[in-house]
Amino acid sequence: MNVLVAMSGGVDSSVAAALLLEAGHDVTGCTMKLWGGASDTGCCSVADVDDARRVAQQLGIDHFVFSFADDFEASVVAPYVAEHAAGRTPNPCVECNRSLKFDRLLRRAHVLGFDALATGHHARVDHDGAAWRLRRGRDAAKDQSYVLHMLGQGQLGRTLLPVGHLAKAEVRRRATALGLRTAGKPDSQDVCFVTAAAGRASFLGERLGLTPGRVVDRTGAKVGRVAAVELVTIGQRRGLGVAGGDRPRYAVDVDVASATVTVGDAGDLLSREVSLAAMSWVDGPTAGDVLAQCSAHGTPRPAAYDAGRGVVRFEQPAARVAPGQSVVLYRGDVVLGGGTAA
């Protein structure tokens, strides 16, 4: 099979390319150049591109760099800024996978004549005889199926995830055995286009201007101030400018229009349900009992999905999901689909 491997400059995609070579595939590496601004973390820095290129050299495969900066700005960065401006909490990694890796890059792979696109995500794709299934990665601590929930049948049929059946320690062991320069490289953790040095406040401040706001309690009484309401997320405890008291207080509502953040106690954060928008399904809509995961590394919660209302109702009250975050539905280790918390 002729396979294009998306190489981010990390150990997982490096080993993915190596495994495909070992399996006898015709492998070509590529790296997407997505961000033209400053970057010191994630998969957008110059160092990451260089690491990918050097690993390709070590493996003896061709490596290309595709510039998708305009697509990234329009599909990931601009929505990220707009969501913050509306007081919501975006998930840019989900949008990057949706719009760039498994749309723009997958289409480029098709045009260039590749049979499949491979990535280093910790998730698994298989076929049950009737349809393609997306499953959790074997390493529960590193599972990335949450950020791939938008993949449908057409995409999964042309996607390979070679490291999904391996524990992360085994991935690093194989990289070390092969002498790959990325064997000991730390995993990226942050938003790739926001530098660790300047931070989110600086990035957003340059693009939309930040609004100082007041912090009020559930009665409407003013209890503090924040430097920027656009930087506050539901459930946040620190940085709210609230004087210490006998119990912690959390952001339970963010109203950018009135520059107001409302705080409450832990009980005020509890909710039994969340409405979802922009649903996508791996193999058609479903309903009924599910496991709902509300963050990339969150604990799946027993719930039921009401397709008519577009609502997930949890068996037990749990911390409210911040608007803008993805909620992904599973049965066992199989991804059903997901949507965005309204």
Q: Is 245 exposed, middle or buried (0-12, 13-18, 19+ CB in 10 A)?
A: exposed
What are the tokens at 216?
A: 């009020």
pLDDT value of residue 313: 98
| H/E stretch holding 12 | helix 11-22
Number of residues in the chain:
342
Q: Is the pLDDT of residue 152 over 90?
A: yes
3-state DSSP of 84-113: HHCCCCCCHHHHHHHHHHHHHHHHHHHHCC
Please tell me which residue in 30, 43, 93, 192 is annotated as part of the active site.
192
Q: Taking residues 218-228, what's their average pLDDT?
A: 94
Hey, what domains does the chain have and what are their CATH numbers? 2-120+162-178 (3.40.50.620), 210-264 (2.30.30.280), 270-341 (2.40.30.10)
**pLDDT bracket for residue 245 (50, 70, 90):** low
Q: Residue holding tokens 């495909």?
A: 20
pLDDT value of residue 129: 94
Q: Is the pLDDT of residue 244 over 70?
A: no
pLDDT value of residue 254: 97
pLDDT value of residue 198: 79
Q: Taking residues 81-104, what's their average pLDDT?
A: 97
Q: Catalytic residue at 96?
A: yes
**pLDDT bracket for residue 47 (50, 70, 90):** confident
**pLDDT bracket for residue 35 (50, 70, 90):** confident
* 46-59 vs 11-22: helix crossing angle, rounded to 10: 20
For residues 327 and 334, what is the distance between their CA atoms, to the nearest angstrom?
A: 14
Would you say 163 and 138 are in contact if contact means Cβ atoms under 8 Å apart? no
State the maximum Cα–Cα separation within the chain, in Å, rounded to a whole number: 67
Between 187 and 268, name the one with better pLDDT: 268
**pLDDT bracket for residue 228 (50, 70, 90):** very high
Please tell me which residue in 43, 93, 96, 294 is annotated as part of the active site.
96
For residues 291 and 222, what is the distance between their CA atoms, to the nearest angstrom?
A: 39
Q: How far separated are the first and last CA of the chain, in Å rounded?
A: 42
